[in-house]
Amino acid sequence: MKYSYFPGCSLKGLGRAYEESLLPVMKHLGVELQELNDWNCCGATAYMAVDEGKACVLAARNLALAEQNGGHQLLAPCSACYMVLNKTQHYCQDYPQMKETVDRALASVNLKYSGHSTVRHPLDVLINDVGLEAIRQKVVRPLKGLKIAPYYGCQIVRPYATFDDQFNPVTMDKLLQALGAEVVRYPLKTKCCGGSLTGTLPDAGIRMVYILLNEARKRGADCLATVCPLCQFNLDGYHAQLRSQYGDAVLIPTLYFSQLMGLAFGLPEEELGLKRAAIPFRWRPAAPVAKAGASVAVA
C-alpha cells in the first residue's frame, strides 16, 4: 500500500506529535507514505474567508503535484487540510468557472490538475485499506481498562462525508476497540472545538472546550482521542485558563488516535510524541502478552 502524504503546516508545527506517531504506526502496518515534494499550505479556513478562488488554487497545486508524482491517493491527516482539499475537488467538479480559474493559475506555473487524485484520511485508509483484522494482529499491548472518548471534531465528516457517517461517525470507535480500549458513549463527538476562536475570542472558544472536556469527564473517560491538530491543541493548550475557570477535574488528556495505536503496538514511547502535550497522559498498557502461536482463539 502506497500513498502520497500531505502533512500540512500543523503537523510540522504545533501538531508535530501527530506526525511523529502516525509515521511509525503506518510503517509498522506496511503502509508506505511518500511526502509530497514541496507541498504548500492548503489555505485552511482563513483563506476561504478572504478569497475562495485563491483558496482553491492553493489547494489545487497540491492535488496537481500529487498527480504529477503518480500518487493518485493523497493522505491528509489534518482535518482542515482534508476538508479544503476535498472542497476544492468538489468546487472544480461543480463549477466550471472555478475550474477555469484553477486551470489558468496552475498553467501559469506549468502544472495541471485533471481531477483524478483522491484525498484520503488516515482513518479511512486504516479501516478500509489496512483493515481492522490486520490492526488487531499488531496489538501486543492491548489498551485494556482504558476508557476513551472518541472525538472526531467537525471537518472530517462535514460537509463531505466520504468514509463515515456525517452525524454519527464510528470509524475511530472501531479502531480504538480493536486496540482493546473501552470506548465511552460520547454524544459530542462531532461538536466544534471552537477552532481559532480560542485565540481570537477566548470567552466563547474556551467555553466550547470546557463543554467537550466536561462531557468526557461525566462519561468517565480517562482521555479523549482526536484526529485533528487544532482540536488537540485547543483541548490541551488552554489548561491554565480552564483550571482557573472550571477547576482541575476537566483537565483530561487528549491524544491522537495514532499515539494510542503506537502504544498498543508496543512501539518505543519516545517515537510517539507523548511528551508534546501539556496535560500529561500517564496511563500505560500492561507489558506485552506473548502470542501463543496459532492456538490463540480469535474472539
Partner 1 sequence: MMKMVRTIKYESDRVPGFGKEVMSVPGCEQLKSCIQCGTCSGVCPLSVYMDYSPRQVMELTRSDFKNEVLRSHTIWLCASCYACTVECPREIRITDIMYELKQRAIKERVYPPRFPIPVLAREFTDMVKKNGRITEMVLVMKLFLKTSWLAGMKNWRMGLDLMKTGRLSLVTEKIKARGDIARMLDTVDAKKEN
- Quick note: the x/- pattern for partner 1 over 111-130, rule CB under 8 A, is --------------------
Question: At its nearest, how many Å lie between partner 1 and the CB of residue 216?
Answer: 16
Q: Taking the complex as a whole, how short is the minimal distance between the CB of residue 131 and partner 1, in angstroms?
A: 28
What mask of x and - would describe binding to partner 1 in positions 5 to 44, judged by CB under 8 A?
A: ----xx-xxx-x---------------------xxxx-xx
Q: What sign does the dihedral 127-132-134-135 (CA atoms) show?
A: positive
Q: Are 215 and 140 in contact (CB under 8 A)?
A: no
Which parts of 180-209 interact with partner 1 (CB under 8 A)? 190-192, 194-197, 199-204, 208
Contact 233, 17 (CB under 8 A): no
Which stretches within the chain are classed as H helix?
Answer: 16-28, 44-48, 52-68, 79-94, 96-107, 122-124, 132-138, 171-178, 197-200, 202-218, 229-237, 239-246, 257-265
Asked whether position 108 contacts partner 1 by CB under 8 A, the answer is yes
How many binding residues for partner 1 (CB under 8 A)? 64
166 interacts with partner 1 by CB under 8 A: yes
By the 8 A CB rule, do 172 and 150 touch?
Answer: yes
Q: Does 245 bind partner 1 (CB under 8 A)?
A: no
CA atoms within 13 Å, Cβ hemisphere of 197: 11
Which residue stretch of 46-54, 176-184, 248-256, 289-297 sits at the interface with partner 1 (rule: CB under 8 A)? 46-54
Dist. CA 280–CA 128, nearest whole Å: 32
According to CB under 8 A, which one of 70, 94, 116, 187 is a site residue for partner 1?
Answer: 94
Closest distance to partner 1 from the beta carbon of 283 (Å)? 18
Q: How many helices (H) and strands (E) does the chain have?
A: 13, 8
List residues near partner 1 by CB under 8 A.
Answer: 9-10, 12-14, 16, 38-41, 43-54, 57-58, 61, 91, 94-95, 97-98, 101, 104-106, 108-109, 154-155, 158-159, 161, 166-167, 190-192, 194-197, 199-204, 208, 237-238, 240, 275-278
